[in-house]
Amino acid sequence: MAQRFGLLLLMATAVGLLILGKTHGDAIRQLRVMAVEVVAPILEVLSAPVISARHAIAKIEHLRNTSRDNDALREQVARLSKWQTIARNLEQENANLRALLRPAHDAAPIFVSARVIGDTGGLFVQSVLLNAGHRDGVEAGQAVTTGLGLAGRVVEVGNRSSRLLLLNDLNSRVPVMVEHSRHRAVLAGDNSARPRLTFLPANAKINSGDRVVTSGHAGVFPPGLPVGVVSSVTEGGARIQPFVDWARMEYVTVLRYRALPAGDVIRHDNGTNAGRGAAGTKPNASPNTTPDTSGER
Amino acid sequence: MDTPLAGRFVNFARAGIPFFVSLLLVLVAILPYGLPKSSLAAPVLALISVYYWSVFRPELMPAGAAFLLGLMVDVLSGGPPGLNALVLILVHWAASGQRRTLAGKSFAVGWLGYLLIAAGAAVVNWFFASLFHTTAIESVPLIVSHAIGTAAYPVVAIFLSRMQTLTRPS
């Protein structure tokens, strides 16, 4: 009898927590940050040998593939040195033109490197824990990248740990644009490996293989960070294959970039951007991406 | 050699084995192995663990312990708070309620029991997660994790049965 009562009480507590999580999300988040802070040092210690083992395995792989990699790299160097010449010319030309136009410079992002100490996620959440927090200058909302591209954004920050919400999480919304057509959209995660492009202007033409970068709208992410390539275009919309290799995320870079004051501006701004993008009958008429507008001064 | 006090302490430590082994499994499961789907490991291992102990040593895995384990999984995953806690309490309730049918039979019976109870857990999980997010959640990850759990059950159960021998007074 008492046992049955205890069981019911615990069930009611769990359901109560779920309801609280829905109505008082911030308070629950705060509690969760505190709990993760306690576990983080344990995870940091436990994850060190795991990382070492991964490095050892990677080293063996490298050794096995050395000669093949060498050939591929030599070929790549030959190809890229051609690009380097082109890039040098463009860089010079860009500098000259910028000197003529005198646009305001984008704030250069300062970054913090962090190690992934927990591949947590689970069934409905795509997130990982990082070993950097307030004391390292990490704040909620900051963009996180790997060498390959945008990984997601920081959602919860403790003193020494933080949680990175990945691009493909259900709650992830990132303002992006198609690199060459400059069409703006919102990249919305849905727990699948390839997030959806939403709020694309109706007349936007996108093709598989188009590169997608951050647009810098909402002021939290720096513009121009590589995100992924369009992998499929259907009636329902387009899907993106992110550049990030989820399975190989060991170290990440947290960008301490902030064009807007702190606060929960992300969701709000996403909404307004999205609204504009969706209703935009002439979405390409005004090239009001961040660097361009500043250039008009 | 055991003084009554030391003996009592050893018994106390033995009684803690199911909970602490489960907790350790959850913590070890979330380390960054860099393997695909490895983020599903923690909830799956918690589920197998709570099921196993609820069938074979229910007095050492009370509902409160199942609740705490679930809460731990929820805190670490950053998902809906209380969801795994609720699921694991229900698993504990179902598994300990059916222990007469499940315990002491062949290994396959225990496995089949896991298959059925974990399937029920997946449905509850999906229902409350969908309610929480007010949208029908993609059910594929749940099916995948159920399959992974069922496939992993024998290995984990053998490990846990080794641990179970430690809980018996020598």
Report the pLDDT value the prediction gives residue B133, as an integer from 0 to 100. 85
Question: Is ipTM beyond 0.95?
Answer: no
- Whole-number mean pLDDT of chain A? 81
CB contact under 8 A, A248 and B34: yes
Look at residue A291 and tell me if it is in a domain: no
Q: Would the pTM count as exceeding 0.80?
A: no
Interface test with A, best of B47, B50, B77, B126 (most A CBs within 10 A): B77
Q: Is B70 on the interface with A (CB under 8 A)?
A: yes
pLDDT score for B2: 53
Do A127 and A242 reside in the same domain of the chain?
Answer: yes
Would residue A22 count as lying in a domain? no
> Which chain A residues have a beta carbon less than 8 Å from that of B39?
119-122, 126
Distance of alpha carbon A187 from alpha carbon A290, whole angstroms: 18
- At A158 the pLDDT is 92
Residue A281, pLDDT score: 36
CB contact under 8 A, A122 and B36: no
Angle between helices A66-101 and A25-64 (to 10 degrees): 130
Q: Are residues A84 and A204 in the same domain?
A: no
pLDDT confidence tier of residue B135, bands split at 50, 70 and 90: confident
The span from the CA of A77 to the CA of A82, in Å, is: 9
Strand pairing category for A237-242 and A251-256: unpaired
Cβ atoms < 10 Å from Cβ of B122: 20
Cβ-nearest to B138 among A39, A128, A190: A190
Residue A86 falls inside a structural domain? yes
Q: Any idea what the CATH number is for the domain that residue A150 is in? A: 2.40.10.340
Cβ within 8 Å, pair B82-A120: no
| Residue keyed to tokens 């790549």 | A76
Query: Quick check: is A55 in a domain?
Result: no
pLDDT surpassing 50 at residue A268: no
Q: For chain B, positions 31-50, list CB contacts with chain A under 8 A.
A: 31-36, 38-40, 42-43
Interface of B with A in 105-134 (CB under 8 A): 125, 128-129, 132-133
CATH number at B131 reads 1.10.1760
Q: Which domain holds residue A84?
A: 73-101
**For A127-182, what is each residue's pLDDT tens digit?**
899 999 999 989 898 999 988 899 999 999 999 999 999 998 888 899 999 988 88
Check B78 against A123: CB less than 8 A apart. no
For chain B, what is the mean pLDDT?
Answer: 88
More confident position, B12 or A89: A89
Q: Report d(CA B73, CA A120) in Å as an integer.
A: 9
User: Residue B42: closest CA among chain A residues belongs to which residue?
Assistant: A122
Nearest CB to A121; choose among B64, B77, B137: B77
Q: Residues of A with CB below 8 A from B89's CB?
A: 7, 10-11, 14
pLDDT over 60 (residue A91): yes
CA distances from A297 to A222, A285, A291, B7 (A): 20, 18, 11, 81
User: Residues near A169 by Cβ (< 8 Å), separated by ≥ 6?
Assistant: A125, A126, A127, A152, A189, A191
Quick check: B99 pLDDT over 80? yes
Answer yes or no: do A195 and A230 share one domain: yes
DSSP state of A108: P
Say which residue the tokens 């020494």 belong to. Answer: A160
pLDDT of residue B7: 78
Q: B78–A120: do the CB atoms touch at under 8 Å?
A: yes
Find the residue in A nearest to B85 (Cα): A14
Same domain, A164 and A240: yes
Check pLDDT > 60 for residue A295: no
Token pair of A105 as six digits: 């410079």
| Residue percentage of chain A with pLDDT more than 90 | 36
State whether A11 and B43 contact (CB < 8 Å): no
pLDDT in the model for residue A98: 83
Q: Which of A82, A101, A120 is the last residue of a domain?
A: A101
Residue B8: is its pLDDT beyond 90? no
Q: What is the mean pLDDT of residues B10-14?
A: 81
Query: Are A90 and A216 in the same domain?
Result: no
Q: How many CB atoms lie within 10 A of CB B114?
A: 25
Answer yes or no: do A96 and A141 share one domain: no
Confidence at residue A220, expressed as pLDDT on a 0 to 100 scale: 75
A265-293: average pLDDT: 37
| A282 pLDDT more than 60 | no
Whether residues A89 and A200 share a domain: the answer is no
Q: What is the pLDDT of residue A1?
A: 64
Domain contains A213: yes
Per-residue b or e along A130-154, where b marks 16 or more CB atoms closer than 10 Å to that residue's CB = bbbbeebebebbbbbbbeebbbbbb
CB contact under 8 A, B129 and A121: no
Is residue B57 over pLDDT 80?
yes
Shared-domain flag, residues A203 and A78 = no
pLDDT digits (tens, 9 = 90+) for A186-220: 999 888 888 998 888 877 788 888 999 998 887 77
In a domain, A175, yes or no: yes
**Do both A173 and A233 map to the same domain?**
yes
B86/A15 CB distance under 8 A: yes
Asked whether residue A263 carries a pLDDT value surpassing 50, the answer given is no
Among the ranges given (B1-15, B24-38, B88-102, B137-151), the one the predictor scored with the smallest mean pLDDT: B1-15
Residue A31 included in any domain: no
Per-residue pLDDT band at A108 (split at 50, 70, 90): low
Quote the domain boundaries for residue B26.
4-167
Which residues from chain A sit within 8 angstroms of residue B142, using beta carbons? Answer: 123
Residues A83 and A194 in one domain: no
Predicted confidence band of residue B139 (pLDDT cuts 50, 70, 90): confident
Q: Residues of B with CB below 8 A from A122's CB? A: 39-40, 42-43, 73, 76-77, 79, 84
Q: Which residues of B touch A120 (CB under 8 A)?
A: 30, 39, 42, 76-78
Mean pLDDT on B19-24: 93
CA separation, residue A95 to residues A19, A90, A101, B110 (Å): 55, 8, 10, 71
Cβ–Cβ contacts within 10 Å for residue A281, how many?
Answer: 8
Using a CB-CB distance cutoff of 8 angstroms, which residues of chain B are in contact with residue A140? none
As for how many domains chain B has, the answer is 1
Q: Which residues of A touch B36 (CB under 8 A)?
A: 246-247
Res B153 pLDDT > 90: yes
Specify the length of chain B in residues: 170
Considering only CB atoms, B132 lies closest to which of A3, A22, A190, namely A22
Distance from CA of B125 to the nearest CA of A (A): 9
Question: What domain count does chain A have?
Answer: 2
Mutation target to probe the B interface, by most B beta carbons within 10 A, among A39, A124, A156 is A124
Residue A131 lies in a domain: yes
User: Which residues does chain A have within 8 Å of residue B20's beta carbon, measured at their own beta carbons?
Assistant: none
User: Does A262 lie in the same domain as A140?
Assistant: yes
Rounded mean pLDDT of A35-57?
90
A190 and A93 co-located in one domain: no
